[in-house]
Amino acid sequence: MCLIVFAWRPGHALPLVVAANRDEFYARPTQALAAWTDAPGVYAGRDLEAGGTWLGVGPQGRFAALTNIRDPGQALGPRSRGELVAAYLQGELGVEAYLDQVASRSGQYAGFNLLVGDSRQLGYVHARDAAPRLLEAGVYGLSNARLDTPWPKLVKARSGLEGLLATADPQRLLALLADTEPAPEGELPETGVGLATEKLLSSVFIASQNYGTRASTVLMVDDHGRRRLVERSFGPFGGHLGEVDLLL
């Protein structure tokens, strides 16, 4: 998952609204959003190479999502980052206890950002920070750096989400996630991957021959705990592969 914008508004009619793009190599085998037959109550896509996931929901109002940290010089950890999302969705630890546990063993993974929440709390941990934190009400963006690092696509998508909250609708949020316009060269971050790659990765929706946005996902949770989860899947050059729409 490489871009997540979300509104956390406890007490609102829609306390949680999430719009997210998962970017990955097209060759990596993936199962689209579905119920996990081996984990009752969990709904998520699945990385068929390592078994984890990038975003999903679970019992008791659980939600979790992950992005990687972009750093070509980082060491690869011995464990898959996708298990961090899957373990929370399948587990029973509360938000704070789970994030504390993850922070204590973050060195086992390559760099990551992790969001986990339930009906009462939403928390965040960055792999290189000493302590997690609970999030106050607000609208946030998370890409491949720390929370709200102002990369152009994050700023654009977060602003777009703010403009849609009054009339939040999955199809409008999916359209927000489909923006393929790259950022101007003068606004690109410098993350060590070279100018051509920085430009490719600078759009909200990434499309190329080998790497790009594999899934666009919208989650809307209402104040009764009802959840709507919509995901579109894509192949090379952004070819549409299908859509799943779940009411939970």
pLDDT tens for each residue of 148-182: 999 999 999 999 999 999 999 999 999 999 999 99
Closest CA to 114 of 171, 64, 174: 64
Question: In the Cβ-directed half-sphere of 196, how many Cα atoms lie within 13 Å?
Answer: 1
At 150 the pLDDT is: 97
Q: What is the CATH number of the domain that holds 116?
A: 3.60.60.10
Cα distance between residue 34 and residue 207, in whole Å = 24
* Domain around 25: 3-247
pLDDT digit string, tens, across residues 38-49: 999 999 999 999
Cα–Cα dist 180/182, whole Å: 6
What is the pLDDT confidence band of residue 1, given thresholds at 50, 70 and 90? Answer: low
Look at the chain and report how many structural domains it folds into. 1
Q: What is the reported pTM? A: 0.97
The model's pLDDT over 49-91, given as tens digits with 9 standing for 90+, comes to 999 999 999 999 999 999 999 998 888 889 999 999 999 999 9
Mean pLDDT of 124-143: 95
